[in-house]
Structure 1
Amino acid sequence: MYIGGPTADPLLQPSFLPDPAEDQLAPNHKPKVDPDNPGNPGSLTHYAGGCKPCNKYNPERPDDSCKHAERCSFCHSKEHERPKHRGQRGRHALQRRQFLEARDRMHDGLVQIINSIYTVPHDTMDKLKGLMKKQVNSTSGYNDQVQFLARRIAEIGDRAQNQRPDNARVRRARGELCQVDLESRCKWYTGTLHLMVRKMYEDPKNEKQKLEEIRKAVKDSLDEFEGLAKELETNLQGAEGLEEEVKQALTANKWLEKDLGALVHKEIPNATSPEKKQVWDDLKTELTFMLEVTDEECRDKMKRANKLDEMLKLVKETVEKQRESLLGDEEELSSS
């Protein structure tokens, strides 16, 4: 039957419908791969000894490991030992080992540059750890500074990667910073900087120009990394000031000092909006009016506060209740 009308789809007309008897493959059909007898072009020369193993193919998952399947130009024979894929740390460790083995044959200027990549950051890390050990007294304060340094190292490393000729395909620093310790972040940075040098050296420019560009890029990055010590000192000085502000605001409620201090160190040092700092100023004012809190339920609510504005709301409510209670007591005394 012909389907008429101006909106009829020509693919629905009888002449376009497939013959049910025809054996047609589904559009996304992928031929089954026989792991015992692979028929892809790259496997045909396996027994002649001229093949190269496919680093994607897995004989335990023959149908979904190599996307090229039966068209792959690399060998899928089960007899090959499957190559292992190195992670980023493994690749960084390998490039350093290769450098140590080959540096006697490398340009002296390039060797000096790469040596500085592995000495300056680690010396700086020792200085940073010493500063934190000496000046940071609380666990929350220590964690805050670790977060700050890990974030800054990631930023410095990303800027270094932008110097690479192939920077468009570079994957930036990833991962939850709370799960990254300073030592591993420093190793990532040195490996990243070393890789930047390698990629820049592969650029088809004359030797002198390449070395000059590499030297400048590495120096700029290492100078910024060394500058983390001054940034940390500034942070720690600010943290000491915040601790003093917390103590002064809690003259009648010392039990809240630890929890309030953690919130303040979390929100205020990195606060960029004036509203956030205003919340802290308002909270300090309200805390000076708050008498000693003896109600355990009220104390628990304040200790569980996750943000300063939440703490401010609770403190205001408590101050108002205390004020009403005092006024009520005065009225009773005057009436009696």
Structure 2
Amino acid sequence: NLLSLTPLRDSSGRVTHYVGIQTDITEQVELRHVLEDAMLRLESLQVDISMNCARLQQGLEAARRVQRAMLPAGCYEHPNLSIYWRLLACEELAGDLLQYCQLDNRHMALWMLDVTGHGVGPALRAVAASQLLATRVRVASQLQAGNILQPDGGPCMVCPAEVAAWLSEEFPWDVDLGLYFTLLYGVFDLETGLFRYVCAGHPAPVGARPDGASLNVDPESGGMPIGLQQSGYREHEITLGPGEAVLLYSDGVTECVNERFEMYGRERLQVFLSSYVSDPGEQVLDNLIQDLSRWRGENGFSDDISLMLLRRGASSPEFVI
């Protein structure tokens, strides 16, 4: 119990008697103990949360390092072909990945894939698919005739459509997670400038000549995303002349929405490439990202941005090994 005393005074200020009030504070004491226990538990939870956040950040950073390791080390420079690329993740981990590798002295394989969604699940699927392509595409592209890209008796290369069908079998649609991915896979002939590719649900490239004229590139994708179609992928081909370029991109580019809910679109992308095709390759991509940022406005990108620019040598030199 709590007893409080209040003195009462007469007119001269002399204390004449006291008024006492006795209060039962048992409930207050119990509530104070409950509050103190709650504060201790809260502090313990905050420590646990901080430790878990630190572990999650370490895990995300490790995943980012793995993802970065799956990207090209830099640009590719060859007298007959230059390859430039950019990848911007809209979250901690990207669902997009791109890569290229040399199959032999004459052929370059390159690919770009975009897994549905964002976060850890799509990022892991992207890494797994790209890793499988990177480790097996060289072997797969040296298989026996019947899938020959070069009818003139050149090296045997598995057709891009066969690669897409094979990959679709390896990565069937995950019903539980709802994961699938689009893919652009192609093989570039350094000698002839022929680029044969397949778009499995992926946006078709745009292309331009040195004078800014558009290249005749089929705008259709030619197939469903990987995991949703087992065969029947349609191939496309285009032969690049000296100084001509094609731009590969993910749908985060053309579907980039401005404040008026307008998409950037393929036509606007074509106009941009035609306007800047003769600029240095890395500058073309950096300027495009700036243009997309201006288009987007104050909001950050809501999807990953993947770009890969292929440009044939301007002087069409003899084939160089």
Class of the TM-score when normalised by the shorter of the 2 chains:
under 0.3
Kindly name which structure, 1 or 2, has the bigger radius of gyration based on alpha carbons: 1
TM-score (norm 2): 0.24
* Between structures 1 and 2, the one with greater helix share: 1
